[in-house]
Every structure is written in structure tokens, then in C-alpha cells.
Amino acid sequence: MSKYIIVGGVAGGATAAARLRRLDETAEIILFERGEDISFANCGLPYYVGDVIAERGDLLLQTPEKFRGMYNVDVRVCSEVTRVNTENRTVEVRSVAGVYTESYDALLLSPGAKPLRPPIPGINHPRIATLRSVQDADRIRSLVGTGGSVVVVGGGFIGVELAENLRERGLSVTLVEAMPHILPIFDTDMISLLEVELRRHGVELALGDGVAGFEEQEDGGICVRLSSGRTVHGDFVALAIGVRPDTAFLDGSGIALGERGHILVNEYMQTNIPHVYAVGDAVLTRSAQTGKATALPLAGPANRQARLAADRMAGEVRAYRGVVGTAALKVFGLTAAATGQNERALQSAGMVYGKDYRFTVIFPRHHVAYYPGAKELALKLIFRLSDGVVLGAQAIGAEGVDKRIDVLASAIGRSLTVADLEEFELSYAPPYSAAKDPVNMAGYAAENILLGRSIPLLPHELSAELAAGARLIDVRPPEEYHAGEIAGAQRIPLPRLRERLHEFDPQVPIVVCCKMGLRGYLAEQILRAHGLTVKNLVGGYTYMKMQHEERN
């Protein structure tokens, strides 16, 4: 009979324990969890803080008692593994009953990650909270009842979700982010949509300004001093500036760690020590696209890693394919989702826009326009120029965002091309999509660029193009002019373009622009067929306006 020890619950540890039991009914399985809960919905914590999830018990996916009864697992909560001896195959455990050791045949580590608390002056003030556990959420809920304002530090997923939920509870919210923009998984050209949405709902943004210190005020609140010298005030502070792997207990174990403390594993989730496995937020896994080491603290990958590790521990062999990096979040009335690599990641890897990759931005409705309630979404598709392989995608909108990104995540995970997207047969009915789904449309637009049918021009490239003598033609119809003027453009509505071809000088290059890019593409084909040199402004006026909002 095999004896398995699992360190840590939640997505990784609890999933592995359940899978091991399904594969091996006779094994002894012990799960150690430092906290009170072995399996809780940590992704739901911001919504419990915001009272969207009203009942605390709804967050508890499994109680220790239920888990024992269902899986016959020896669950030991409030039991912290403080040391691992890989030579003797034992772990040292500290519990309310004292310190003891437990032996194992195979060990799975799922310690997770803990919130960063850098050595900033005043950071240990009792009214500065982090969010990792249900108990942390309880504490923030209690702080909500003591004041009307909060400073959220950190513009990642947790910070933005906390800002939204605390604002929905009626608090005055200031969101502080040291980087120029929130949510680095999105490119800066897309993120303006979410920053505008936050401001529209009353969240004050302090971007590009880190925290220099925290000081208590006479009224008991917190003054947050920023690097710029500016100060912001809140009755309490929610700290969400990132996480680091909770692996200090592995010091001296011989288990190999990365520079930042992540556990190093192979494609079978094995560490460098025989019979020791690791999964979840504490591991350094690999990118499914590049094969390079990466850390991705998300629940989905943790669950899949745990299942594969359990399979390997029980004698079945299946390799982990790596992470694509797919995530979504709600920001008031919008949903935002991303998958694969963004431009920042590509450029960090040495790839150059226009030489190695390009992208297209389209603004389709999430279902057919004639069916009531059709909502526009912004969809950015990044692809490799050498072969058309899809590298990344981002989408933001009120409806239909997660569906498209999930499809594109599947495409990226299989190294499919923009031509493959054109052929995807996706479900269609008027309330749900269109016969040409936004995924198909993104494929069409990208392949037009890839094959040279369309020559794209980005908004930030326009001024140089005009300075070099290009002529800018706005082909929008008159009823769309109210949306905003395109500086320097001559207005020729698309239906009148053919009758005015005599006005064009073949020696003068043309840039065409419309509302969203499609009519610009049609104008591009008309003009090119008549011997003119033409470029189409990517995403039209809508995308250009997004860039203006990003700068402001």
C-alpha cells in the first residue's frame, strides 16, 4: 500500500488528493493544510468582499469532514509542514497538538503563493490588509464597515476586482498602480477601455506612481505617500501588489528552486528529487508556445497540473503541455479576457512589429446586429508573419468576450494559424453569434494583412505618414461624423469613392480610414485596383480614439 503526503489544499492539493483516491482505493493519503479550509473558492474572494457572494459558506467547496467522507483522505487542517527531509522521506509538521514527523512514499507540494509585503514604511499597520484566504476576506469585510474610503494598492487582477467590488459597496476607491497602466496581461492599446470604465464608475486611478510609505492619520485612517510626492487617503488600505511562492519551508531540502523561489519541475510535475512532485502557484512551469520557463498563478493550470501529477504518482504517464496563459475578469459592465502572448512579451523575446509579427483589431458585435441587444466588442489578434500562427489575443466588451477568447486559446494551444480561424465552424443562432463569428472575422482580417491584400497603418504611425506627403481619406458616411473628426482627413464617403477617382494623383500615397476598419479595407481595394498606393488605418477611428484615451 502506497502512502502519499500532500502539502497544501485548494486547487492543487485537494484536486490531487481526489484524483489519487480515484486511481488508488487502497492508498493512504494525508493532506496537510496550514489554514482552516482545505478547499475554498479563492477566485471568489473579491466578490465575497463585495457582497455579491453573500454567504461565507458558499466559498467553501469542501469541508474537511465532507472531503474525508467522500475520498477517504486523512485531512489535517491547521497543520503546517515546516520542513521536508527528502533523504529520509519525511515531513515535519507543526499543529495545535505539537510538532511531529510523518513519512511518505511520494510527496506532492502545493503550498501556493502568498501576498507580497515589501519593506515599505508603515506597511504593517493593522488597517492594511491583503487577500489570500477566507479569513482575509472576513477582515476586509469588517474594515468596510468602519469607513467610507479605501486605497487599493496594485492594479493586477485582485486589485482591480477589489476596487470594483468595494466601489459597488459604496466606498470611495482610489486604485494605485506603479506601472503606467493596470493589468499588464493586456497591451496598452487595449487597456484604456478598462481604465475609462473604472473612472466612469467613480474609481480614482493613480497610475505610474508607486507607494513610498503609509502613515496613520489622527482619525485612524491611512495616508498613502506616493513616489511622486502626492498623497491619497483611505480609511483602510487593501494591498494587492502581487504574490511570491510560499516555499521557504523547503530550504535545506535539496529541492531545486528558481531565483524567485519557485519550485522547478519537469513536464510530469516532478522535482529534481525522486518521488517529490509540485503543482500550482509555487511552481515554475513552461510556456506551451515558447517552451520557456514561466510562472502563472491561476486556478485552471493548478487543477490540470494536479491531475497529471496524481496520474504520474499512481503510475500513469502523461506530460503537461504547458500554459498558454488565458484569463478573464469583470470590470463593472465590461468583460476583459486575454490569451497567449501580448506585444510586450513578444518584444521582450526580441520580436519586432512589422518584421516578425503584426496584429489586427476589429470591433464586431457579439451577435447579429438585427437581433436586439447586440453589443460591440474590441478584439485584438496577434499573429506571426512567417507562417500566420496565432500568437495572442485580447478582447474587451459587454458580451461575448469569454467565448471568443476561449476559442482562440484552443487555437493558440495547438499552434493554429489565422487561416485555420477562417475555417472554424462555430455555433450560430441570431441570439448568440453571427454566421461569420468574430473569430472568423479576425482570421479574415489577419490573413488579408498576411497575404498583402491589406497594408495596415497604426494610429501612432499616421503623423509620420502624413508628414511624408500621404493623403488621408475618411470614408465614413456623414451620419458618423458626429463621433469625432479625424484631423487632416478629407471626407469622401465610400459609396462616392469610385465617382471621384479622377481626384487622386497616382504619385501621392493614400491612407484610408473609416469607423472600425472594414470600409477602410473596401476603399483600400478600390483605390489599389486603380493603381494607387494605399494603407488602411487599423481599427479605424474607433481604435484611434482608444489610443487618445490611453494617452490621456
Would you say the C-alpha torsion 65, 66, 68, 69 has a positive or negative sign? positive
| DSSP H or E stretch at residue 82 | strand 80-85
Known catalytic residue at 43: yes
Q: Report the C-alpha gap between 480 and 494 in whole angstroms.
A: 12
Cα 25 to its chain centre, rounded Å, is 38
Q: Report the C-alpha gap between 298 and 295 in whole angstroms.
A: 9
Q: Which residues pair with 395 in a beta bridge?
A: 337, 379
SS3 207: strand
SS3 496: helix
Q: Which residues pair with 76 in a beta bridge?
A: 32
Three-class SS of 262-276: CEECCCCCECCCCCE
CA distances from 17 to 65, 71, 72, 306 (A): 14, 8, 10, 9
What DSSP string describes 4-36?
Answer: EEEE--HHHHHHHHHHHHHH-TT-EEEEE-SSS
What DSSP string describes 290-342?
Answer: T--EE----HHHHHHHHHHHHHHHTT-------B---EEEEETTEEEEEEE--
Q: At 538, list the grid cell.
A: 487599423
> Which residue bears the cell 531545486?
256
Q: At 292, list the grid cell.
A: 520557456
Sheet holding 377-384, edge to edge: 327-331, 334-340, 390-397, 377-384, 357-362
Pairing relationship of beta strands 243-245 and 113-115 according to DSSP bridges: antiparallel
* Count of CB atoms situated within 10 Å of the CB of 72: 14
| DSSP H or E stretch at residue 160 | helix 157-168
Catalytic residue among 43, 78, 223, 513: 43
Three-class SS of 450-482: HCCCCCEECHHHHHHHHHCCCEEEECCCHHHHH
Task: Specify whether the CB–CB gap between 14 and 33 falls below 8 A.
Answer: no
Query: Tell me, what DSSP letter sits at residue 489?
Result: P
Q: Report the C-alpha gap between 56 and 373 in whole angstroms.
A: 34
Which residues are the active-site residues? 43
